Chain A
């Protein structure tokens, strides 16, 4: 257990050492960062004209919308980040000999796969939370500015004397679960590719092409080809990208944010369960492949 925890920390350190990962951290959060800065500047500027009591309500609505957009955008960008970081963690390490050094120690191969996956996941969850923190901070700063101005109450009846959270703890937890499950499946998918390549770039291009190909087939098969033959509809149902689409749809995100549903709501439950199933399958394949992989560099 101690060795496993240490291995996860080591993998996390390796990710944080890469400039590529830090650039992605910025890219994944550039929208909430820039938007929250711009909003607070605009808010302060307009308050000077005496519209504070209106501005805060408007700001609150904009920030909530931005949070949904951030989550959706994150889900869109994450596969590109994951392909590269999984490529670095497996393909590059295989070619540079880091993997050989790891396997000379008493760690098991499944532990290597698990530790790398969990380290990537920790980094990803940190990245998604960071955007939320920016937006939450934006609200808190705006509220304290409003309180300081003495202009009360707010037009949308927001009780500014109570703690103001962008998202409830329960919704935040459920969104993190969705992020975890959806990206776990993607990481598993990319690892299977990474074990066949010793170039991270080549692996990324190939796996992303495969991912986009599968998703394109799903879109065409489920909306067009199903009218020709019902087989296409059945095939589209098995596309794992369909579950990703459902997990990170605006509808799912808003349902959870507005507490209109939860992880046990029908379509959300099906989507994350199916994603988990695919993740287990990809991991089983990855562990099987890796256990038979000859380390020759």
Chain B
């Protein structure tokens, strides 16, 4: 992918902490106008990569290009078009949300009160605008972090675990906020998260890293289209055993059979569902329902990294 067409391009990025090699020639790129998820198990190097992208870890071994600017030389120019929060937002506790946004945000460019309050409104903190940051809940802090990131209308927003420590309702709210920012402000978003279902719901592009290397990247729809189809077949109780036997004989169509809570969950070769359905009906099985199950990013993740869902940030 052409670096000028990408929001982020990383080539052969390496990083050692002492003797431990955290990044081992990491390569990936993120296109503009996407919401890109950055996935990887604990210790894969997600946070380290983000810190290196933003210049918090100097001394780059490899190449980083952001919005066409090569790092570290073009850091200042690139950061004028980038909003970012790495790990937990650390604003000044004795200052209010408004004051923090005014002082930190004005380091990008002069801000009007109108813009500050517009952003505060956008992240749902209108009632807390004059409240001290030290009294904020985790969710409010994260939302203020996002507000700081978009104050100067950046082309790219980089967020590290933006829903970390939030309850389910807070996560839904954050998802809505990020989608709105992407749609209304035309901001590309690059976020790391350990919540795979959240990434699947929010992101249209994904970069998966493991052990300091990129193992997969691409549009979510493309990644999931390579999967087998998953269906839940519900039959009458007396037909259950017979159905399982029949499915086991359909080698060309059926990949895997599992018992689900209300029926059999089968993995089928793409486009074979009608064939399986008619085969069952012809054999006299009363098929009560054939329900398609959505392919999950979690399967891709586990297949690629050999890990289950992991919680928490890495190095």
- Is the CB–CB distance between B92 and A105 below 8 Å? no
C-beta contact mask, A102-116 vs B, less than 8 Å → 1, else 0? 111111100000000
- Is the CB–CB distance between B107 and A107 below 8 Å? yes
- Is the CB–CB distance between A14 and B90 below 8 Å? no
- Report if B57 contacts A (CB, 8 A): yes
**A102-B107, A104-B85 given; A294·B90 CB < 8 A:** no
**A17-B95, A108-B76, A294-B58 given; A100·B86 CB < 8 A:** yes
CA distance A104 to B56 in the complex (A): 8
- Is the CB–CB distance between B92 and A295 below 8 Å? no
- Report if A13 contacts B (CB, 8 A): yes
Q: Please indicate the chain A residues that have their CB under 8 angstroms from the CB of B94 in the complex.
A: 17
CB-contacts of B32-82 with A (<8 A): 51, 54-59, 75-77, 79-80
CA distance A98 to B148 in the complex (A): 13
Interfacial residues, chain A to chain B (CB-CB below 8 A)? 2-3, 6-7, 10, 13-14, 17, 96-98, 100-108, 291-297
CA distance A291 to B57 in the complex (A): 10
Q: Please indicate the chain A residues that have their CB under 8 angstroms from the CB of B95 in the complex.
A: 17
- Is the CB–CB distance between B91 and A101 below 8 Å? yes
Q: Please indicate the chain A residues that have their CB under 8 angstroms from the CB of B108 in the complex.
A: 105-106
C-beta contact mask, B183-196 vs A, less than 8 Å → 1, else 0? 00000000000000
CA distance A296 to B106 in the complex (A): 24
C-beta contact mask, B249-264 vs A, less than 8 Å → 1, else 0? 0000000000000000
CA distance A3 to B105 in the complex (A): 11
Q: Which 8 residue pairs spanning A and B have beta carbons closest together?
A: A97-B90, A105-B107, A106-B79, A295-B56, A106-B76, A106-B80, A294-B57, A104-B84
Q: Which of B57, B58, B107 contacts A106 (CB 8 A)?
A: B107
Q: Please indicate the chain A residues that have their CB under 8 angstroms from the CB of B54 in the complex.
A: 103-104
Q: Please indicate the chain B residues that have their CB under 8 angstroms from the CB of A296 in the complex.
A: 51, 56-57
Q: Please indicate the chain A residues that have their CB under 8 angstroms from the CB of B55 in the complex.
A: 103
- Is the CB–CB distance between B58 and A291 below 8 Å? yes
CA distance A100 to B85 in the complex (A): 9
- Report if B88 contacts A (CB, 8 A): yes
CA distance A3 to B110 in the complex (A): 9
Q: Please indicate the chain A residues that have their CB under 8 angstroms from the CB of B85 in the complex.
A: 104
Which chain B residue shows the least CB distance to A9? B103
- Is the CB–CB distance between B51 and A105 below 8 Å? no
- Is the CB–CB distance between B58 and A101 below 8 Å? no
- Is the CB–CB distance between A6 and B106 below 8 Å? yes
Q: Chain A CB within 10 Å — which of B55, B57, B80, B107 has the most?
A: B107
A100-B56, A296-B51, A297-B90 given; name 7 further pairs at CB < 8 Å.
A17-B92, A102-B107, A104-B56, A106-B77, A107-B107, A108-B76, A292-B59
**How far apart are B15's CB and chain A's nearest CB, in angstroms?**
10
Q: What would be 26 A-B contacts, judged by CB atoms less than 8 Å apart?
A: A6-B106, A6-B107, A10-B103, A14-B92, A17-B94, A17-B95, A97-B88, A98-B92, A100-B56, A100-B90, A101-B90, A101-B148, A103-B55, A103-B56, A104-B79, A105-B79, A105-B108, A106-B76, A106-B108, A107-B76, A292-B58, A292-B59, A293-B58, A294-B51, A294-B57, A295-B51
Which chain B residue shows the least CB distance to A291? B58
CA distance A293 to B59 in the complex (A): 10
User: SS class of chain B's interface: helix, strand, loop or mixed?
Assistant: loop
- Report if B218 contacts A (CB, 8 A): no
CA distance A6 to B148 in the complex (A): 17
Q: Please indicate the chain A residues that have their CB under 8 angstroms from the CB of B170 in the complex.
A: none
- Report if B89 contacts A (CB, 8 A): yes
Q: Please indicate the chain A residues that have their CB under 8 angstroms from the CB of B58 in the complex.
A: 291-294
CA distance A203 to B57 in the complex (A): 23
**How far apart are A291's CB and chain B's nearest CB, in angstroms?**
6
Which chain B residue shows the least CB distance to A107? B107
Q: Please indicate the chain B residues that have their CB under 8 angstroms from the CB of A98 in the complex.
A: 90-92
CA distance A292 to B60 in the complex (A): 11
- Is the CB–CB distance between A96 and B90 below 8 Å? yes
Q: Please indicate the chain A residues that have their CB under 8 angstroms from the CB of B59 in the complex.
A: 292
- Is the CB–CB distance between A295 and B107 below 8 Å? no
Q: Please indicate the chain B residues that have their CB under 8 angstroms from the CB of A291 in the complex.
A: 58
CA distance A7 to B108 in the complex (A): 11
CA distance A17 to B85 in the complex (A): 24
Q: Please indicate the chain B residues that have their CB under 8 angstroms from the CB of A293 in the complex.
A: 58
Q: Please indicate the chain B residues that have their CB under 8 angstroms from the CB of A13 in the complex.
A: 103
**How far apart are B27's CB and chain A's nearest CB, in angstroms?**
23
CA distance A105 to B57 in the complex (A): 14
Q: Chain B CB within 10 Å — which of A6, A100, A106 has the most?
A: A106
Q: Please indicate the chain B residues that have their CB under 8 angstroms from the CB of A3 in the complex.
A: 107
**A106-B76, A106-B79, A106-B80 given; A101·B57 CB < 8 A:** no
**How far apart are A179's CB and chain B's nearest CB, in angstroms?**
28
CA distance A106 to B107 in the complex (A): 7
Q: Chain B CB within 10 Å — which of A105, A108, A291, A293 has the most?
A: A105
Which chain B residue shows the least CB distance to A293? B58
**How far apart are A195's CB and chain B's nearest CB, in angstroms?**
13
**A13-B103, A294-B58 given; A101·B76 CB < 8 A:** no
Which chain A residue shows the least CB distance to B15? A294
Q: Please indicate the chain B residues that have their CB under 8 angstroms from the CB of A2 in the complex.
A: 110
CA distance A104 to B156 in the complex (A): 13
Which chain A residue shows the least CB distance to B79? A106
Q: Please indicate the chain B residues that have their CB under 8 angstroms from the CB of A105 in the complex.
A: 79, 104, 107-108
CA distance A14 to B110 in the complex (A): 19
